[in-house]
Structures are given as C-alpha cells and as structure tokens.
C-alpha cells in the first residue's frame, strides 16, 4: 500500500542563464507565457494547469518536477510520513507543496491545492475524411501555419542508478502502477512506464518512467501533449523554420502508442510533442517487454544514437 496516490504530474523545472531566450523557444514550442521576471519564468499550456514549465535563472540544468495529489489532506499525510514541512507554492496558481529527494537526488515537489485556470482557445479544424467515412463535405481543410498548441505536461523520463530502488520509492509514496516493465534480458528489469492510479478514471499510459540507462543518472525528457496530429505536424514545420534543434521524430512509439516529435531547448534539454496516446484505468493489466521494443518505433524515424 502506498502512503498516498498521485493524480498527475504537474510541471517540470529547469535552470537557464537567459530566461528571455528560454521564453522564445517555449513560445515557438507551443506554450504561453504566464510570468517572465528577472529571475524566473513560468509557461502554461492551453489547459487548466496554471503552469507546466518553470525556469529559474542560473547555470543550465534540470531542477526537478512537480507531482500532484488530490488534496491538502493527502499532502499532510505524506508530509507526516516523511517528517517534512509543508509550505506555500510560490508560483502561479498558488497551492501548497513539500519537497522530497528521490534516491538519485532528483527534487520532487509534491503539490496540492493549485488553482485551476481558464482554458485558452485553440483553433478548431473540421473532421478528418477517411477512406470509408467522409464527415467533412463541401469544405476545405486549410491549416494556418504556426507553433503547436501545448495542452499539458504528460510525463517525464529519468535515468536512475538502480531501477528497482527507484520503482519502490515512487510506488510506495505515490501509488503508481506499472503499464509496461522493460527488461534488459529475461528476468532483469531495467525500467518501467508507470502511471497514476485513478481508479476508474482514465490515465495516460505513463506519467513517470525511471530507466536504468548507461552512464550516471540524468534527466532524459519531458513530454507535452499537443492538440492533435495536424497540430503536431504544424509545430514541427514551425520549429524547423525558426532553426530549433530537432532530435527525433516524427514517429509512433510502441509504449504508449503516441505520435512523437522530440526537440532540444537552447541548453540541450529534451522536450517532446506527442498526441494520440493510450489511456488506461487501474484495472488494466501491465506488460513485460524487452529493451528492443523500447528503442523501436511502430513507424517513423528510428532513434538517433543515445549520448546519455
């Protein structure tokens, strides 16, 4: 039994020496500026989260992530079990948080009570025509160029030193469920795609994925859901036009089934656009798969050589 059950991932935090440059990249990536100050930057998607990406002024690097609980009462339960203080969340949307460090030293901000914000308008497109069904009739499909429209943060992938240790740490505190376990060889797990346990409510195939990768533990990527396939493709063209640093895609993953497109921010942090991902309830069983499936795609660009 876990101490509490997380309901979602909330945001990612980074450090960068130029917040204006980070803001420009994230606007081109499809986010919307909430606050740009001398020492901090907050960006949101078009969904109801007050922010999904935060950057503080400093040497470049990954600074942690937030995971959301259902209530302040749950936050107090976890804080008591950890012997940790609760404090106000000094960020758009307010709320309360406690800070933990996982076994590899990643800062995990456990949050509750954030105010939700009004959704932003995004372009609506007429439905797709398919070979056996033509719902769009007497109408054209004309897509305005521009960035994708990020809705929310969907998941993060982190490198860890000891997968089984990290799996136990996250599951015992946040009640995460395994959607797919990845084995280096039969009987030797090296990672897992884990989702929140929301009972009968649907959840993404994975929310947090700790992976025991070659080299020291390091942030791998953060993945942001965009409006739909056309939106992802338009965003790809826009980022190419502004000479952003493309990493991998476009393709369709095996685990989670998302259509994906990966980019590097100006300091080399990997961020992903995705759409059309799998959804599961807590009753859906998990799987066990070889590492070859982790590195493969259903279609599209194969993964470039891994550097970390």
CATH of 6-115+150-299, one of 1.10.390.10, 3.40.50.970, 4.10.490.10, 3.10.180.10: 3.10.180.10
What is the full per-residue pLDDT of the chain (308 aa) written as tens digits?
899 999 999 999 999 999 999 999 999 999 999 999 999 999 999 999 999 999 999 999 999 999 999 999 999 999 999 999 999 999 999 999 999 999 999 999 999 999 999 999 998 878 899 999 999 999 999 999 999 999 999 999 999 999 999 999 999 999 999 999 999 999 999 999 999 999 999 999 999 999 999 999 999 999 999 999 999 999 999 999 999 999 999 999 999 999 999 999 999 999 999 999 999 999 999 999 999 999 899 999 999 876 54
Give me the pLDDT at residue 41, please: 98
Q: Is the pTM of this model over 0.95?
A: yes
Query: Which residue in 161, 159, 167 sits closest to 192, CA to CA?
Result: 167
pLDDT digit string, tens, across residues 203-257: 999 999 999 999 999 999 999 999 999 999 999 999 999 999 999 999 999 999 9
pLDDT digit string, tens, across residues 35-70: 999 999 999 999 999 999 999 999 999 999 999 999
């Amino acid at each position: 039994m876990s101490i509490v059950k997380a309901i979602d991932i909330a945001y990612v935090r980074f450090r960068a020496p130029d917040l204006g440059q980070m803001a420009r990249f994230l606007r081109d990536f499809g986010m919307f500026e909430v606050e740009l100050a001398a020492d901090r930057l907050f960006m949101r998607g078009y969904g109801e989260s007050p922010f999904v990406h935060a950057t503080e002024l400093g040497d470049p690097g990954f600074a942690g992530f937030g995971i959301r609980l259902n209530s302040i009462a749950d936050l107090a339960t976890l804080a008591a079990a950890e012997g940790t203080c609760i404090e106000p969340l000094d960020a758009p949307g307010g709320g309360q948080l406690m800070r933990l460090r996982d076994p590899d030293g990643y800062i995990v901000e456990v949050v509750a009570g954030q105010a939700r914000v009004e959704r932003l308008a995004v372009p609506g497109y007429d439905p797709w025509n398919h070979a056996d069904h033509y719902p769009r009739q007497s109408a054209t499909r004309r897509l305005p160029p521009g960035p994708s429209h990020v809705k929310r943060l969907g998941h993060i992938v982190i490198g860890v030193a000891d997968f089984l240790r990290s799996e136990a740490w996250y599951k015992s505190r946040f009640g995460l469920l395994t959607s797919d376990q990845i084995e280096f060889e039969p009987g030797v797990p090296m990672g897992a795609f884990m989702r929140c346990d929301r009972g009968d409510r649907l959840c993404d195939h994975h929310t947090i994925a700790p992976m025991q990768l070659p080299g020291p533990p390091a942030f791998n990527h953060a993945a942001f859901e965009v409006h739909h396939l056309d939106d992802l493709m338009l965003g790809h063209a826009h980022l190419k036009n502004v000479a952003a640093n493309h990493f991998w895609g476009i393709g369709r993953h095996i685990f989670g089934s998302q259509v994906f497109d990966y980019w590097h921010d100006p300091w080399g942090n990997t961020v992903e656009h995705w759409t059309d991902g799998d959804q599961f309830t807590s009753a859906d069983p998990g799987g066990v798969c070889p590492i070859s499936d982790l590195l493969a795609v259903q279609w599209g660009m194969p993964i470039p050589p891994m550097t970390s």
